Structure 1
Amino acid sequence: MPTPRNNKKSAGAPKRSTFWSILRWTVGACAAGAASGVLLCVFVFAYIYQQLPPIDALTDYRPKVPLRVWSADGKLIGEFGEERRDFVKIADVPQHVKDAILSAEDDGFYEHPGIEVTGILRAAVINVLTGRRGQGGSTITMQVARNFFLTTQRTYTRKLYEIAMSFKIEHELTKDQILEIYMNQIYLGQRAYGFASAARTYFGRPLDQISVGEAATIAGLPVAPSAYNPIVNPTRATMRRNYVLRRMYDLGRIDELTYQTEKSLPMQVRKAVEPDAPVNTNASADTVTAHYAAELARMLMYDIFGSETYTRGLNVYTTIRTEEQRAAVESVRRHLIAYDHRYGYRGPEGRVDLGAAADRPKVIRAALEHRTSSPFMLPAVVLEASPKKIVAAISPTETVELDEESLRFARRHLAAKPARGIEPIVPGSIIRVMHPLSGKNVDKIWTLGQVPRVETAFVAADFNTGAVHALVGGFDFNLNMFNHVTQAWRQPGSSFKPFIYSAALERGFTPATVINDAPISIDPKLTGGKLWEPKNYEGRFDGPMPLYRALELSKNLVSIRIMQAITPAYAQQYIERFGFAAKNHPANLPMALGAGSVTPWQMLGGYMVFANGGYRVQPYLIDRVTDATGATLMQATNRQAGDPSIRAVDERNAFVMNSLLHRVAVNGTARRATALLKRDDIAGKTGTSNDSQDAWFCGYAGNTVAVGWMGYDQPKPLGSRETGGGLVLPIWVDYMRTALKDVPETTRVQPESVVERDGLYFYRDPVGGVDDASALSVDQAARDLVRDQIF
């Protein structure tokens, strides 16, 4: 019989066998489960991969590059588009910039296949432990996939698609191609997309000119552009920069000296950039203000390219010259403010309740945000006001004390008991402040200002080529976007008389023809039913005088008698040679006094004819247009002076008219121009419309013709004694000081068809007068006056 010990051994064997069976079953089940899981993952991944969209957006990458408008000398004067972006090829990216990006975002970019398993696992563990989906473990390739094809929603499904798309991108693109797309596409704050745009936005320099520390600053932005914005959060941006510098040092991409040096430097960004700067902005603080020219260029491009204007990366190169544009802007600004000051301070623009001291920064910020800012005049909130002192806040943290001139300018509004209708300046009043127009250390002095209600236009061009060198459409584009150069239809007044005199030369008049400056009454039938008794500006009549002297003194009665002789119908037809539409100049006698409608742009083209020898050269603003790659899409082919196909008047007419306009600038209403500029090639004509509602000066010297206008948008008198010679001629002179610097005087060669006698010029072969058989019909009284040569 078996012993008990043998019985025990027999009983334990089944137990061990069962254990190993369970173990084998468990291992097998786990292996099967793992295999099934792997197969399921492969199946899911394969399914997801098959559902991925094509990556044409990457293989044919066309970033949204904004429209940029440039001056003739390469200054950025306007930028239009939803995204600021400068496309840069990977070969043109400096090595230290690439090192900064890779150190901050993906140091193993050139080694991994598009994903980094350790990074994903690390992020997954952290997400599980924290219960949050904050870590993504994204490589540069995964960021590209997300930015182009996926949402930013943090889900595991989106992450799977992101991983699959990364593999697809890596399969079809090279590493350099992926990095190039990433560097041009990523958002980096301040509406800047791509590293090249960020370099210009934050530091005002091209990408290849930024330092290692600046590259580290930009490279630190993708993770959180708003949190590490060096403009908004310089402290956090410095911390992030230093982290990226440390990564570069640890990875051996910079040495210790560079690391320590760059780390110790203060954060310095371009001051011109504001957190809420508009998309249409200048490149830097010293860039010329040419918003009206930039907007005009934008409008012209949109007419051609439509919505692609703002995404195609067009570069528009204008004919604007930076130095001359700046001179025009400063001259317009100075003289408009001076005119406005002559008529007194009108009072504050509004008022806010400052409340408690603790609430003031918030109140001030809100008040200033609701006021349109101007580069010339800043809105400010008054904190203290008395006849002896004005203190105002130009920001929640910065205050200024205004100068003594401000106290004199606003004395009626600072009185203890202001007169009726005078709005007092008190704490909480919203005013405008600016630096003085002249004097020493003006950038440290603040004075009281007010936005002029009067507006202006100024435009200048080369009269031989038509290239526009300066264009100012108003006092300030930010305050009034209406371009008065091209859009304002106004009465030209006496500045239109030269075109009537030019017509008179073709009808037999000469500079020596004597006309009577005497009172005249015009039959109501010729004026629409109302008796017209025109007068000269100065209110007196000087009797018989030669034609040249009548133009010098801008005699209205002489111009009307000339118009009677040549007839309004002939004059209306004749002025079309200069680019004026007949429909805007009714065929009646007031046309002789500039009663029609013109724009400053038209007047610029008209005076070019007198300046360049008789050719109708078209003013133009755009020289060429290129795309994002630099390929030329459009090139100006403007016909220039000397081209017989654009002759408007013959050379003898242009030469005689130039001599007459030169006399105006020497002896007549524009003599101030010659006296101040001390040149002998100046010619031009002042203009003041009826009731002084429009003031003009149109003139030329050297190779430049310039036209200026001043008036109110809603026409009303500028003042009882205000004229074009007093208001606009000074703007013209100040501009010409810059435009004519180092430009020699222009000498015009007398044509053989012109003879000189006693300092006056005449046609060698006289033309038929109004009595000629081919002349248009005129009344008998006018015929008699022409015959006697005395009006």
Structure 2
Amino acid sequence: MRFLRFVLISALLGTLGGLWGLAGIYLYLSPNLPDVETLRDVRLQTPMRVYTREGDLIGQFGEQKRTPLPFDEIPPAFIEALLAAEDDNFFYHRGVDFMGLARAVSELVLTGQKGSGGSTLTMQVARNYFLSLERTFMRKFNEILLAIEIERALDKQEIFELYFNRVFLGHRAYGFEAASQVYYGKSISELNLAQYAMLAGIPKAPSRNNPISGPEAGMERRNWILGRMLTLGYIDQATYNTASTEPVTATHHGAQLAFSAHYAAEMARQEMLQLYGIAAYNDGYHVYTTISSDLQQVAQRAVIDGLITYDKRHGFRGPERQLPPADPNVPAPSRPDWEQALTEMPVIAGLPPAIVTAVYDDAVAVLLKDGSEQEIYWENGLRQASRYRTENSRGAAPKAPADVVAVGDLIRVTRNDEDEWELAQVPAAQAALVSLDPSNGAIRSIVGGMGFELSKFNRAIQAQRQPGSNFKPFLYAAALDAGFTAASIINDAPVVMEDTSLEETWRPENDGGTFNGPTRLRWALTKSRNLVSIRLLQQLGIPALISYVDQLGFNTAEFSPNLSLALGTHAMTPLEVATGYAVLANGGYRVEPHLIARIDDNDGDTVFTADPLTVCTDCEAPAATVDDGELSMEQILAASTPNNGLPPAPRVMDARISFIMDSILRDVITRGTGRRALVLERSDIAGKTGTTNGPMDAWFSGYSPEVVTTTWVGFDNYTPLGRREFGGTAALPIWIDYMREALQGLPVEEPQVPPGIVTVRIDPDTGLLARPGESGSIEEYFRQEYAPRQNTSDDNGAAQNRDDDLVKDIFD
């Protein structure tokens, strides 16, 4: 009895001592415990996502890959798999599983090493959100206390949701939904049981157990979890047998983009970084751009096709690399050097790499990235592959496949219209395309080069290139503003300039070296006569031109004040040029290009909406007042927010000048340097080619009332394009391919003649009034105050009298 009494007293004292010890630890640690209520407002680091205006994902940026899900969207089968792996008693304990702790203590006593740790999901939430990962007893005590507090503050579903969305699962994936996307390329709701168990096994050792870095360890852990699910009654034996024999199917998947639009997405990323700093990467912003999903894909295809077409005209430059020939005695699947080389080579602009494995009399065999061998027949690009010599010359036509490639050559291939493999190559030239809505400057599509994987340099917004004749419409608009007319006569004759700002004698020429003598401005711009443009700028004055284009929106701070401005020698980006053409397309209003339409935060609340300058023709009318007795108060209030509350774009070009310029640029399409665009069979398109010396740069900028688009082609290193390459041959075909789709379904819109425009019959040789009944006379548009009032006659006085009568008839 004494011994029993001693044991009971000792046990009681031990228990009291333990309780006092625990109380002491609690009193010591509790003041420093974080407030678990902050878990209700926790903001998980969630990447920024960039979308088109239709909601298609085109970019994802962030330090952590995460896609949070609420509890009710988590599949029940996955919940069971995770409980089997980590804490099958989760829905019953109050934060601490004392049996699990006892098991962990016994493992420590018996083996001398830390084992499972006995952590519940709640304790892991405490550790993941508040504590470090150091393995110490003090941290474990903090973890236990926090788990108890968390269970008091939150319900089980909230705790499970916090764990599900926070835990690290390898390959920068945080949370199980993100891990599902990374390892399987689909949402967790689309996975099967074996994949659920594979994911549930990762938290124990993310680097070792994930199915990419450690497929064997991952499978072992997966099958253990499936066994636990069987033991716990979550699944039956047949289900276990099926799931445990499934192979590992995981591969690395990037963000599930709807399609590639990297240049646009990168522009959005840079703008978001300016707006929100580093928070842009972690706060889960959803960025909706002005990009059209359909038009962006059309633009990318048009640029690639245009560059490939240009490239074919200049010959085959040979293989990208020459690899050592493989051992002919070793079968193709065992060629590790070749297969490794293909693995390292990206697909560029849809052109996959291939290695020539055999050369025959009428074909070549190639090894592709997927390990398959294919054949390229003589007619599929090999026969046409004359060697590139210079931009102006090609070698002799090959006579056999061996004249083109050799075994071990790394080349590019593509599929033709007959679904046969064809020889290809990545073009050396580059191109850019930018397309705007002229009513508000919204960027509908933008392509900065052949491929983002080849070059991150966005030529649409970063490449400063001379626009050449693409700039001439703005010179002619400035001239009209100064009192010139479309019928003004300028001499198309040689010019020799001793211009000190140009550092040498300047002898500009027309394309082809011909001169037409006295030429009307309309015809000069239609045919892009350089010498007329220079003489026009001489008469207009350089300051007048700079002042005029400055109000159109061009940055003139670095314009060189010399006559070469008439030929577009000041370098600009394609986006700047397209923005200028928007003024011509929308009737004379200055808009500003913009890419981001709306930004939503991680909760779905809109935190930014674009407020672009928007064309509003009704906003120009003088407002009436209530005192005038013309409008009611309701009408006044409605009129106080015109244009749907958007700021009206300022008018920067007289409507009549815009109309006349539009009619001239339509002539460029119908009878000038842009005649190839007649294939579109539309009367409401207008535009202008541009080609610089070399030629180094080829441009086409054009528009309809709904769409304005600029295309550019050139080499990054300023290599000439070739003497037969112009804006009309290199850049215009890209513009046509794009606008064919961009204008699909849009009605043809004929321009409205603005007040103050008159039509006068003139003598095309003199630009003066035609005599009544004169043959060969043509009609021309004039601003009323600048219409011609005299014609040619030996009797000047009689002619003037007749002119007065004719002008009166015109204007009355």
Q: TM-score, normalised by structure 2?
A: 0.80
SS at match of 2:433: strand
Tell me the residue number matched to 2:495. 520
Rounded to whole Å, the distance in 1 between the matches of 2:730 and 2:615 is 31
Matches within 5 A, 1:268-347: 275=252, 282-284=255-257, 287-347=258-318
Q: Which of these residues, 753, 756, 766, is aligned with residue 786 of structure 2?
A: 766
Tell me the residue number matched to 1:621. 595
Rounded to whole Å, the distance in 2 between the matches of 1:261 and 1:135 is 28
Contact 2:317 2:387 in 1 (8 A): no
**CA deviation after TM superposition for structure 1 residue 515, in Å:** 3.0
State the Cα deviation string for residues 323-370 of structure 1 (Å, max 9, x = none): 110111111112212322333333344455578869976645664566
1:69 equivalenced with 2:50 (yes/no): yes
Tell me the residue number matched to 1:433. 412
Aligned-partner residue type, residue 673 of structure 1: A
Contact 2:315 2:386 in 1 (8 A): no
Change (3 A) 1:39 1:394: farther
Rounded to whole Å, the distance in 2 between the matches of 1:30 and 1:527 is 103
SS at match of 1:696: strand
Matches within 5 A, 1:321-720: 321-351=292-322, 363-364=337-338, 367=341, 371=345, 374=348, 376-380=350-354, 383-384=357-358, 390-395=364-369, 397=371, 400-404=374-378, 405=380, 407-408=382-383, 429=409, 431-436=410-415, 438-441=416-419, 445=421, 447-522=422-497, 524-525=498-499, 528-642=502-616, 644=620, 646-674=650-678, 676-720=679-723
Change (3 A) 1:74 1:35: same
Rounded to whole Å, the distance in 1 between the matches of 2:545 and 2:489 is 20
Rounded to whole Å, the distance in 2 between the matches of 1:623 and 1:233 is 43
Contact 2:46 2:67 in 1 (8 A): yes
Contact 1:364 1:396 in 2 (8 A): no
Change (3 A) 1:394 1:123: farther
Aligned-partner residue type, residue 543 of structure 1: G
Aligned-partner residue type, residue 457 of structure 2: F
Rounded to whole Å, the distance in 2 between the matches of 1:680 and 1:263 is 67
Change (3 A) 1:709 1:282: farther
Q: Which moved more, 1:547-556 or 1:166-175?
A: 166-175
Rounded to whole Å, the distance in 1 between the matches of 2:600 and 2:466 is 38
Contact 2:326 2:335 in 1 (8 A): no
Change (3 A) 1:364 1:491: same
SS at match of 2:599: strand
State the Cα deviation string for residues 280-325 of structure 1 (Å, max 9, x = none): x5524xx222111111111111112111111111111101111110
**CA deviation after TM superposition for structure 1 residue 222, in Å:** 3.1
Tell me the residue number matched to 1:6. none
Rounded to whole Å, the distance in 1 between the matches of 2:61 and 2:551 is 37
SS at match of 1:482: coil
Aligned-partner residue type, residue 283 of structure 1: Q
SS at match of 2:608: strand
Q: C-alpha root-mean-square deviation of aligned residues, in Å?
A: 3.7
Contact 2:486 2:521 in 1 (8 A): yes
**CA deviation after TM superposition for structure 1 residue 137, in Å:** 3.1
SS at match of 2:428: coil
Tell me the residue number matched to 1:732. 735
Aligned-partner residue type, residue 85 of structure 1: R
SS at match of 2:487: coil
Contact 2:356 2:411 in 1 (8 A): no
Aligned-partner residue type, residue 478 of structure 1: E
**CA deviation after TM superposition for structure 1 residue 496, in Å:** 0.7
Contact 1:508 1:767 in 2 (8 A): no
State the Cα deviation string for residues 128-156 of structure 1 (Å, max 9, x = none): 55665342332211221222233445455
**CA deviation after TM superposition for structure 1 residue 514, in Å:** 3.0
Rounded to whole Å, the distance in 1 between the matches of 2:370 and 2:478 is 63
Q: Which moved more, 1:394-403 or 1:315-324?
A: 394-403
Matches within 5 A, 1:249-260: none
Contact 1:387 1:411 in 2 (8 A): no
1:135 equivalenced with 2:116 (yes/no): yes
Aligned-partner residue type, residue 737 of structure 2: D
**CA deviation after TM superposition for structure 1 residue 170, in Å:** 2.0
Contact 2:215 2:248 in 1 (8 A): yes
SS at match of 1:710: strand
Rounded to whole Å, the distance in 2 between the matches of 1:261 and 1:570 is 81
Contact 2:382 2:404 in 1 (8 A): no
Q: Which moved more, 1:734-743 or 1:396-405?
A: 396-405
Rounded to whole Å, the distance in 2 between the matches of 1:102 and 1:398 is 43
**CA deviation after TM superposition for structure 1 residue 176, in Å:** 2.6
Change (3 A) 1:232 1:22: closer
Rounded to whole Å, the distance in 1 between the matches of 2:227 and 2:310 is 59
**CA deviation after TM superposition for structure 1 residue 692, in Å:** 0.9
Tell me the residue number matched to 2:642. none
Rounded to whole Å, the distance in 2 between the matches of 1:406 and 1:151 is 61
Contact 1:315 1:625 in 2 (8 A): yes
SS at match of 1:692: coil
Q: Which moved more, 1:527-536 or 1:691-700?
A: 527-536
Contact 1:702 1:743 in 2 (8 A): no
Q: Which moved more, 1:590-599 or 1:376-385?
A: 376-385
Aligned-partner residue type, residue 663 of structure 1: D
Q: TM-score, normalised by structure 1?
A: 0.82
Aligned-partner residue type, residue 163 of structure 1: I
Change (3 A) 1:743 1:260: farther
Tell me the residue number matched to 2:176. 195
Change (3 A) 1:355 1:28: farther
Aligned-partner residue type, residue 683 of structure 1: A
Rounded to whole Å, the distance in 1 between the matches of 2:756 and 2:228 is 82
Aligned-partner residue type, residue 598 of structure 1: M
Uncovered stretches (5+) of structure 1, i.e. residues with no partner = 1-19, 770-791
**CA deviation after TM superposition for structure 1 residue 267, in Å:** 7.1
Q: Which moved more, 1:352-361 or 1:51-60?
A: 352-361
